[in-house]
Amino acid sequence: MKRRFPLLLVFFFGLLGIIPYFVPHGGYQDFDNALRNDFIRILSAFAIILGLVSLLRVHQDKIKRKRENWQYSYVLIIGFVVSGAIGLFGGIEGELFLPTKIAGFQFDIQTLYLNIIVPLGATMFALLAFFMASASYRAFRARSLESSLLLSAAFIIMIGVLPLADSISSHLPSFAQWIMDIPNVAAKRGITFGIALGGIATSLKIILGIERSWLGGKE
Amino acid sequence: MKIIEYLSRLDRRIIYLVLATVVMVPLVIPTVPRVRVMTPVEKLFNAVEAIPNDQILMLDFDYDPQTLPEIEPMGVAMLRHAFHRRTKVAVLSLYVQPLGLAKKALDQVTEEFNSRATSYEDSIIYGRDYVFLGWQPPPIVPLLGMGISIVDVYQRDYYGYRTDSLPMMQRVKNFNDVGILVSLSGATAPLWWIAYSQTRFGVAVGAGITAVSASEFYQYYQTGQFSGLMIGMKGAAEYEEMVQSRLSITSRRKASEALGSLTAAHLTMIAFIVVGNIGYFIRKRKEKGVQR
């Protein structure tokens, strides 16, 4: 029963997800709408709480057992509690009862987001450009016909998307566009068909209970 | 020969330094180059231009700080376009993180328009000209639910107002009232709008995406599932160009200003790859000579 019940649930709700695409009857569509708007949202709210509690427990455990880099878990927990309290009781821009401004120093959730999360995220991503430059300098070699073709296409696209491409040749931007429109689409469409067919097959196997690895544990 | 060999074994710190310099200099001295507008962006612009008076533009802000420099100018340019032609706008996010960025873009553009407005009618008013629907998890709920009823999915907006009390939402019921939905994303959100909302409810979808993920999206553009595409910084600059040249809006063009950096970075990377390859072939030739 421990394994059969989740399988039955997946089968039942899997079918419920498919049927509305094939049954346009108003009654069923209403039912589908209610299921999505109410039931999934409630489930999702529980999932968020579960996720947050789980995250806190993992880091609490890390601190308790002094695992590698356990000090950073304090940063996470403090950040979690402080931003949670400011967001819940101070509002987006300090419109709730918790004061979010002390002598010109503002710390409402929007200010914190724009001044901490945004620069940190942008910095992390900007670093990628440096690694990419270094990696392409070392690894992007015309070792074979295929890699030479790839290299040529990359150069055409890289120059073709620049404003100066027009001054080199008026055909260059159009050629870069052609590479994206035709050879790129041909390859990507083949891959997408493969992925889609694989996705359908795997979904059916899960709904029908043939694929059970998601249950975890032994068969 | 020794110079080429030296250049082909450059220390990575020199690469970092050169790249940082060529990226920063054009940002310090920004110039706006003339940009040739490509068909995917022109189509998107025309699709927004063709929105009838009784329909709205729906903007899905789904980018995060990592992709902000590429995507935010797209959002800003589209908001300017819509507000200029008095098309009503509904803004939402499928995830929680972009909400702050969506608010920032909205605040910036409404401030731009309102600082020039001479009357209440001229101004951009919340609830009358635009709404910020916010975030409703999980994404499947708005993706499918808005085909039936937008106010049922977003019962309260980002600021906590009841959406059915907002004047604009009195005549906006579901996707039938959306002229085009444009998803601005650093990931695959635009494909979800195609897979779920367009397939089932037929809503027109456009996308603003990062340059690195562009190849994923062209197949859907070619089939007409995307009404138009903006790709990367260049796509954003093209839209800015159209907004300026067609609508005579002369506000700051951040993507166009960044094209100098983009050009310098691309050319530097190409130069590094070429030098790296020359060094590779010289070494290969030498090794062959030794073997003989």
Which residues of chain A make contact with B153, given a CB cutoff of 8 A?
37
pTM of the predicted structure, to 2 decimals:
0.90
Give the residue on A whose Cα is nearest the Cα of B267: A159
Instruction: Look at residue A218 in the predicted model and tell me its pLDDT.
Output: 60
Kindly provide the b/e burial profile for residues B73-91, where b requires at least 16 CB atoms within 10 angstroms of the residue's own CB: bbbbbbbbbbbeeebbbbb
pLDDT in tens, B255-282: 999 999 999 999 999 999 998 898 888 8
Instruction: Look at residue B31 in the predicted model and tell me its pLDDT.
Output: 82
Which residues of chain A make contact with B280, given a CB cutoff of 8 A?
141-142
CB-CB under 8 Å, B101 with A141: no
Are B252 and B237 in contact by the 8 Å Cβ rule? The answer is: no
Asked whether residue B3 carries a pLDDT value surpassing 80, the answer given is no
Which residues of chain A make contact with B263, given a CB cutoff of 8 A?
162-164
Instruction: Look at residue B35 in the predicted model and tell me its pLDDT.
Output: 87
Low-confidence winner among B28-37, B85-94, B146-155 (lowest mean pLDDT):
B28-37
Q: Is the peptide bond before B69 cis (omega within 30 degrees of 0)?
A: no
pLDDT in tens, chain A (219 residues): 778 899 999 999 999 888 988 888 989 888 888 888 888 889 999 999 999 999 999 999 999 999 999 999 999 999 999 999 999 999 888 888 888 888 888 899 999 999 999 999 999 988 988 998 899 888 888 889 999 999 999 999 999 988 888 888 989 989 998 999 999 999 999 999 999 999 999 999 999 999 988 888 665
> CA triplet A21, A24, A29: central angle to 5 degrees?
85
Query: In this structure, what token pair is assigned to residue A97?
Result: 């009862």
Asked whether residue B15 carries a pLDDT value surpassing 70, the answer given is yes
Asked whether residue B1 carries a pLDDT value surpassing 80, the answer given is no
Mutation target vs A (from B8, B17, B23, B66; most A CBs, 10 A cutoff): B66
Tokens 């918790």, residue? A98
Instruction: Look at residue B208 in the predicted model and tell me its pLDDT.
Output: 97
Instruction: Look at residue A17 in the predicted model and tell me its pLDDT.
Output: 86
Give the residue on A whose Cα is nearest the Cα of B269: A133
Q: What is the mean pLDDT of chain B?
A: 93
Give the residue on B whose Cα is nearest the Cα of A138: B276
Query: In this structure, what token pair is assigned to residue A69?
Result: 């880099």
A25: phi then psi, degrees, rounded to nearest 5:
-55, 135
Whole-angstrom Cα distance, residue A20 to residue A26? Answer: 10
Mean pLDDT of the B233-251 span: 93
Inter-chain CB pairs, A–B, below 8 Å: 146
CB-CB under 8 Å, B69 with A133: no
Give the gap in angstroms from C-alpha B277 to the nearest C-alpha of chain A. Answer: 6
**Of the partner residues B66, B158, B216, the one whose CB lies closest to the CB of residue A124:** B66
Give the gap in angstroms from C-alpha B269 to the nearest C-alpha of chain A. Answer: 6
Query: In this structure, what token pair is assigned to residue B37?
Result: 């507008």
Mean pLDDT of the B44-55 span: 96
Contacts 24+ apart (CB under 8 A), A52-61: A52/A80, A55/A80, A56/A80
pLDDT in tens, B125-175: 999 999 999 999 899 999 999 999 999 999 999 999 999 999 999 999 999
Which residues 119-148 in chain A show a CB within 8 A of chain B?
A: 119-122, 124-125, 129-130, 132-134, 136-138, 140-142
Instruction: Look at residue B180 in the predicted model and tell me its pLDDT.
Output: 98
Instruction: Look at residue B279 in the predicted model and tell me its pLDDT.
Output: 85
Give the gap in angstroms from C-alpha B189 to the nearest C-alpha of chain A. Answer: 16
CB-CB under 8 Å, B65 with A122: yes
CA A102 to chain centre: 36
Q: Which neighbouring-strand residues pair with B185? A: B62, B209
Task: Kindly give, in sequence order, each residue whose CB lies less than 8 Å from that of residue A175, ignoring residues fewer than 6 positions away.
Answer: A156, A160
* Eight-class DSSP state of B129: T
3-state SS of A144-182? CHHHHHHHHHHHHHHHHCCCCHHHHCCHHHHHHHHHHHC
pLDDT grade for B7, boundaries at 50, 70 and 90: confident
**Of the partner residues A109, A133, A142, the one whose CB lies closest to the CB of residue B15:** A133
Domain assignments of chain B as residue spans, ordered by start: 2-26+266-291, 35-252
Kindly provide the b/e burial profile for residues B174-196, where b requires at least 16 CB atoms within 10 angstroms of the residue's own CB: bbebbbbbbbbbbbebbbbbbeb
ipTM metric: 0.84
Which residues of chain A make contact with B231, given a CB cutoff of 8 A?
161
Asked whether residue B13 carries a pLDDT value surpassing 70, the answer given is yes
Instruction: Look at residue A103 in the predicted model and tell me its pLDDT.
Output: 85
A85 touches chain B (CB under 8 A): no
Which residues of chain A make contact with B39, given a CB cutoff of 8 A?
177
**Of the partner residues A124, A162, A185, the one whose CB lies closest to the CB of residue B262:** A162
Q: Which fold has domain B35-252?
A: Rossmann fold (3.40.50)
Mean pLDDT of the B210-225 span: 93
Which residues 57-76 in chain A show a CB within 8 A of chain B?
A: none
* Helix/strand number for chain B, H first, E second: 12, 6
CA A108 to chain centre: 26
Are B230 and B209 in contact by the 8 Å Cβ rule? The answer is: yes
Tokens 């063709």, residue? B50
pLDDT in tens, A49-89: 999 999 999 999 999 999 999 999 999 999 999 999 999 99
